[in-house]
Structure formats: C-alpha cells, structure tokens
Structure 1
C-alpha cells in the first residue's frame, strides 16, 4: 500500500497540481487585494459611497440589554455575496487571459520548432514534371 501511495503522490501530475494549488492560493490573495483595494472603492465612488460588504437584509434585529448582546442580529448578507461574485468573475477573467497568453506562446514556439521544408530546386521540379509526363503515356 505504501508503494502505491508513493507512486501516486510523486507522479508528475500530482506534483504539478500541488504547485498549481499553492500558486493559485497566492494568486487568490492578489486578486482579492485588487478587488478590495482598487475595484470596489471605484464601485463605491460610482454608487455614491455604497460599501457592498455592509449591504444586508435584517431578518431580526439584535437585542441588547444593559449594553450586552442578548440575541445577535439575523441578517442576509447579500452585499458579501455580491463581493464574492465580483471576486470570482475577476479571478475567472484573469485565469482566462493568462491561459490565452500561455497558449499563444506555446503555439508560437511550435511554429518556430517546425522547420520549413526546403524549396525544391529547378532541376528537381523539372524531374518531377518529366516523371509525371512519363506516367501519363
């Protein structure tokens, strides 16, 4: 069982996937910062200072007695949901662009790797024509 696990765990695909997950986590932090620190303030400016994270529908308000919360507020945090949708769309678009760039570079490398067939010389072309004419007879 241990040998099977080692075969599985140290296959190239599993290691590549692990690296992808780690990089994806770091990439997620960058995108979250982009959304929270750059894009959402812009949306806040457009929507007259509205903060999406504070948008909620209160089902029952909190009960406070003598400065202590007896019953916490029950609310639907739809602003947070909107924030997460925007995060997802930006991450998906960023990954889409990154994959497009990578695929273009791979295609360009493949085109460069395939050597062009040398153009036939005049003598070779004439020999081909001669052979074709012989076959027709």
Structure 2
C-alpha cells in the first residue's frame, strides 16, 4: 500500500494539480482585491455611496441582510467573469499555438506528390505478390 501511495503521490499530474491550486489561491486573492478595493467602491459611487453589504430589513425580531447576499452575488459574478476572461485568454493563446503547429505541416509540391503516389502504388503491388 505504501508503494502504491508513493507512485500516486509522485505522479506528474499531482504536481501539476498542486501548482494549479497554489496559483488558483493567489489568483483568488488578486480577484478578491479587485472586487473589494476597486470595483465595489466604484459600484458604491454609482449607486450614490450606498454600501450594499449594510442593506437590511428588520421584520419583527429577524433581520434580513439582503445587502450581504447581493454583495456575495455581485462578488461571485465579478469573480466568475474574471476567471472566464483569464481562461478565454489562455484558450485563445493555445489555439494560436495549435494553428501555428498546423501551419508547420510540410506541404508537398507536385513532384513530391507524384513520387509519393508512385511509391504507394509500388508498395501495393509488392504486397499483392
């Protein structure tokens, strides 16, 4: 069992996952700072200085903190959009790499195509003999 665990723990995928988690945590801090320190103050200015997280309604003895809920939903939307934009950027970059690789595929001229056809025909005749 120890040997199996060692093989599992030392696979390349585990290290990639660990690196992804660490980078994700750092990215999460950046996005949280973006939301808390830049976007939400701007939203507060746009809505007349109202702090969404402080909005609430008191019904009897219960207090409904709908502002905190709205703040959480808005944070989620901004974070989701940020992550989407980063993933989209990397996907676009990856597509450019793939297109570059496809363009690198060797293009045969007419003479090479004819020689390849002759070679294939000769190989076909040899296999029938």
Q: TM-score when scaled to structure 2?
A: 0.72
The answer to whether residue 108 in structure 2 is matched with residue 118 in structure 1 is yes
Alpha-carbon distance, 1:51 to partner = 0.1
CA distance in 2, matches of 1:9, 1:98: 29
CA distance 1:101–1:119, change in 2 (3 Å): farther
Rg larger in structure: 1
User: Does the CA contact (< 8 Å) of 1:31 and 1:87 recur in 2?
Assistant: no
Alpha-carbon distance, 1:7 to partner = 2.1
The answer to whether residue 88 in structure 2 is matched with residue 94 in structure 1 is no
Kindly report which structure 2 residues correspond to 1:123-134, keeping only aligned pairs within 5 A, or say none. Answer: 124=114
Gaps of 5+ in 1: 62-73, 129-137
> How many correspondences in the alignment?
115
CA distance 1:22–1:77, change in 2 (3 Å): farther
**Higher relative contact order (Cα pairs below 8 Å, separated by 6+ residues):** 1
Structure (1 or 2) with the greater helix fraction: 2
Q: TM-score when scaled to structure 1?
A: 0.69
SS in 1 for 2:13: helix
Alpha-carbon distance, 1:59 to partner = 4.7
User: Does the CA contact (< 8 Å) of 1:44 and 1:50 recur in 2?
Assistant: yes
SS in 2 for 1:45: helix
Q: In the alignment, which of 97, 114, 119 is matched to residue 109 of structure 1?
A: 97
CA distance in 1, matches of 2:109, 2:70: 60
The answer to whether residue 73 in structure 2 is matched with residue 85 in structure 1 is yes
Gaps of 5+ in 2: 119-129
